[in-house]
Amino acid sequence: MRRITLSFSLALLCGCGCACTHQDPEPPVVPGQTGDGSLDPRRVRIATWNVHNLFDTVCDSSGGCGGTNYEPAVTQAYYQSKVSSVMKGIWTIDADVVLLQEIEKESCLQDVQTLLGMQYYPSRAFGEMGNPAGLDVAILTRGQIQNVLTYRDQYWIEQPDGSQKRLARELLGAEIVLPNGVELTAFTTHFVSKASDPEGGRRLGEARLTRQILDEYIEAHPGRMVIFGGDLNDTPDSEQILTLSSDAALANVTEGMAPEAVTTWNDSVTFDYLFYTRTHADKHDKTEIFCDENRARGFSSSDHCAVKATYYWDGQ
């Protein structure tokens, strides 16, 4: 596994922002503690990861599974191996809140959660689209979820041809209290792919609606830390992504990093993002990208790398 780390302060100083380290993953520690076992109430760690096609063994697609069909034919042995690899990936990332994409059912997430240990990740939220063969989004946390927010069924997005569509997947939010007492709200989604929307019109509509919802939430909860992340299927210079972070309200955790240091898919493209309320920029300490040694392969059994940001609540 290759981990790339950039200190926020280093990004501001060097401009090009590339500080790369090659090291084995450190074993995770008990939540809320530092490596020496002492409590660290200041630290907050958020990550996003597209786990890639976590399907169970039940074929839910009317057209069949396997071969060229959308839903793969999954054996019990393969499913157990996939769940184990997702668990190991989350364990290596070692975040207090993990935003996840491409999970077929909540039962799949529950299997990952059980393998991780409910004492370590006791709370989850799941953004179900209503299609048992669909790939959904989720939030897993070491804290307690006080409230779950969903939006997909509340909005239509007008398309370039005049038709209307929903968000491709749920925009899922969770109001969380972490073990150290920090309160925050995390949102995640998975925008429509370039294969399904090559011109990007639907994806732009998703970005604009997501930004509207985030702005409304932030305005209604002044001072609260808000995180948004996921697989957004577009590049940092696209209108879709700039819609989310091109002003003073939201910051991208990879600001200041060299483009080649933050690619998250196929060693050449950035599709995965974390944004946070810019009023908390003084708390942002570092950003890490988790990839396999062969970066083009992604991370663990996924074709995507993971993005993680660390914050310290007293600014140290």
Question: Rounded to whole angstroms, how far apart are CA atoms 191 and 16?
Answer: 28
d(CA 251, CA 227): 10
Cα angle at 184 between 182 and 277, to 5 degrees? Answer: 120
Cβ–Cβ under 8 Å, residues 45 and 287 = no
Residue 55 has pLDDT above 60, yes or no: yes
> Taking 70 as the threshold, does the pLDDT of residue 19 lie above it?
no
106-116 and 76-93 helices, crossing angle to 10°: 60
Among 258, 273, 260, 259, which residue's Cα sits nearest to residue 304?
273
- Is 4 in contact with 21 (CB distance < 8 Å)? yes
Q: Is the pLDDT of residue 308 over 60?
A: yes
Alpha-carbon distance 40 to 198, whole Å? 46
pLDDT digits over 165-221, tens only? 999 999 999 999 999 999 999 999 999 999 999 999 999 999 999 999 999 999 999
Question: What band does 39 get if pLDDT is binned at 50, 70 and 90?
Answer: low
Please give the single-letter amino acid code of residue 155.
Y
Cα separation, 20 vs 255, in Å, equals 15
Which domains can be identified in the chain, with CATH numbers? 2-27+45-312 (3.60.10.10)
Whether 35 shows a pLDDT value over 80: the answer reads no
Q: Which two tokens stand for residue 193?
A: 């792919």
DSSP letter string, 82-106: HHHHHHHHHHHH--SEEEEEEES-H
What is the structure's pLDDT at 2?
A: 53
pTM over 0.85: yes
Q: Is the per-residue pLDDT at 247 higher than 90?
A: no
Burial environment of residue 162 by CB neighbours within 10 A (0 to 12, 13 to 18, 19 or more): exposed
Q: What is the mean pLDDT of the chain?
A: 87
What is the percent of the chain where pLDDT is above 70? 87
DSSP string, 104-173: S-HHHHHHHHHHH-TTTS-EEEEE--S-TTS-EEEEEESSEEEEEEE-GGG--EE-TTS-EE--SS--EE
Q: How far apart are CA 108 and CA 79, in angstroms?
A: 9
